[in-house]
Structure 1
Amino acid sequence: MKKTKRVIKRKMWAIALGVLITSCSNDSDATEEASSSDLISVAELNYSDESEQISEELSEMAEEIYSIEELQQNAKGDYNSDYLPDCLVVSKVLEGDMITKTLDFGDGCELRNGNTVSGKVVLRYQKDMVANQKTITLSLEDYTFNAVVITGGATIVRTRSNANGNPQSVVNSAYEGTWPGGLTSSFEGNRTREWVEGYGSGTWQDNVFLVTGSTIYTNRLGVIWTKEVVTALRREMACRFIVSGVLAIYRNDATATLDFGGGECDNKGELTWPNGEVTEVNLRRFR
């Protein structure tokens, strides 16, 4: 990718909207105010990326918990995964033909990737583990992600083997996050996650997902922008960044695209503005 200027004029933010630009948001960023609904601050863009990662992490937890039970039942073996941390307590309740699993992270539990969560994630699904398709509901109880208070939930339609022979989940999610200091934003998504590598290996480091679909982010001023996957995003669990794929970012009549690269594990992306200009950007992740 070509090197470009790191300073981007504020008027360009109004056009490009939802690009996830670098630098961790701090207290001064958090109090930065946009003067109108047409202006998106760098801090607000960082919150957008954080919101998306929170949703990703919850989907990954749900899929991992479900796949453990699926593999144990169908392989009839004592399958376990090293993705879930030792500080997590998982309880299971069977009522009729429904299973409820509660993931209790207590007052604080560090995940394998370094993010810290607390509270509970509750999953419910039918106990028939032979069925090719299953609906999983996900709800939250006093849940926080790196000190961000998260409310909401998701419905996950899990297919044991899709047309490519891979596990697949269609995730409809709606979450709201409240950051320290009181800033609030919401995130909704309809995404398909195909598990293309690593299923059943017993280690999370080789897990790879291809993600498609669209998301909607609403910031604290009620300003909305949409992201739609143009080329499937490749999510390798051994890397905290998306390593390839293309997003289209829409706001009103303007469209920008973000290319995540050719497979390298780095924080670089190539942004194409509505006027065709290309800029290299650094992408935000919690950890």
Structure 2
Amino acid sequence: MRKLTYSVLSLGTFLFVSCSNDALNNLNNESLSSEQVKSQMEINSISDGLDEQLSQLLLEDKSGTGNKTEAECASIEFAEESMTVVYNQCLVHGKTIDGTLVFSGNNDGDNGSFEVSFSDFTFNDHLINGTKTIAFDFSDANSPVFTVSTNVSFENEAGQVVDFKGSKEITWFIDHINAEGADFTCTGAWDITVDATTYAFTTTKPLGGDLGCPFISSGELELEMNGLTASLDFGAGTCDQEGTVTYPNGESEEISW
């Protein structure tokens, strides 16, 4: 099981220089650096795909379909107002998943909500503690919407804990799956805290993704840490961990993480 380390840059590494009108000083005083953006995205990647996976489980339960690859290594049990999913080192959309998920709620109507709890559950080799709440809206059967509220922590093998809090709205496009266009989009805002530093993420253009790709492939995020900002454009549908960073002074560059 691989160990992940997080590149957290302390305040002491920031360059606070005397006032100047040149763009470099403005960039240093107001903007995240490219390395800080990369570090922020590496931290965010710990949970990439989890909310989409949870909403997909409810979508498949509602439609009566299932993922064949997932079914080979996971078992699902249903009770009157709960669904329990047990994974055994499953590889789903490029993510290693192990342990138990319990969805408590009712999926009978077009609208409702579930509370998701975790038992010895690991995602990307991180143990998850806490809860998520998922509200669903199936009033448009071709574009169901899931609102995911999160208050969880991720712990790696070394014992380092990363806290995630926030909310995302995920819309699935049933007619687009395995066809042209994004399979789902995501909007929202969330904070990630590691080693007492909080990283803020806000979508400014809906993030798009496909079931066959483990990465976000389109959309735009606004990033913030300790008052420093930058925006990240994921492009127009390419499956990779690359994007264009734009700084407050208008300059931009390509990065990967």
TM-score by length of 2: 0.79
Distance in structure 2 (CA, Å) of the matches to 1:182 and 1:243: 31
**1:170 to partner: Cα distance:** 0.7
| CA displacement at 1:124 relative to structure 2 | 1.3
Amino acid at match of 1:208: D
Aligned twin of 2:5: 30
Aligned residues: 236
Indicate the residue corresponding to 1:111 in structure 2. 91
1:126 is aligned, of 102, 106, 128, to 106
Structure 1 SS opposite 2:70: coil
For the pair 1:212 / 2:207, whether they are aligned, the reply is: no
Offset at residue 281 of structure 1 (A): 0.6
Counterpart of 1:143? 121
Q: Which has the higher contact order (CA 8 A, sep 6+)?
A: 1
1:163-222: per-residue Cα shift (whole Å, max 9, x none)? Answer: x951000110112111121211111121100112458x7x899971111111111112x1
In structure 1, what is the equivalent of residue 206 of structure 2?
A: 232
- Structure 1 unaligned regions, length at least 5: 1-25, 73-78
Residue of structure 1 equivalent to 2:215: 241
1:1-287 matches, within 5 Å, as: 30=5, 34-36=9-11, 45=40, 47-53=42-48, 56-57=49-50, 59-72=51-64, 79-82=65-68, 84-94=70-80, 99-106=81-88, 109-127=89-107, 129=108, 131-162=109-140, 166-198=143-175, 208-220=183-195, 222-283=196-257
Q: Which structure dedicates a bigger proportion of its chain to strand?
A: 2
CA RMSD of superposed structures (Å): 3.0
Looking at structure 1, the residues matched to 236 and 39 of structure 2 have their Cα atoms a distance apart, in angstroms, of 27
Shift of 1:270: 0.2
Q: Structure 2, unaligned stretches of length 5 or more?
A: 15-31
Q: How has the CA–CA distance of structure 1 residues 204 and 143 changed in structure 2, closer, same or farther, with 3 Å as cutoff?
A: farther
Confirm or deny: 8 A CA contact 1:256 1:273 kept in the other structure: yes
Secondary structure of the corresponding residue to residue 241 of structure 1: coil
Q: Is the 8 A contact 2:218 2:234 kept in 1?
A: yes
Shift in alpha-carbon separation, 1:38–1:156, aligned structure 2, 3 A: farther
What's the TM-score once normalised by structure 1's chain length? Answer: 0.72
The answer as to whether partners of 1:174 and 1:189 remain within 8 angstroms in 2 is yes
| 1:12-39 Cα shifts (integer Å, max 9, x gaps) | xxxxxxxxxxxxxx86x83867554776
Q: Secondary structure at the match of 1:30?
A: coil
- Percent of pairs with identical residues: 22
Give how far 1:253 is off: 3.3
Distance in 2 between residues matched to 1:212 and 1:170, nearest whole Å: 10
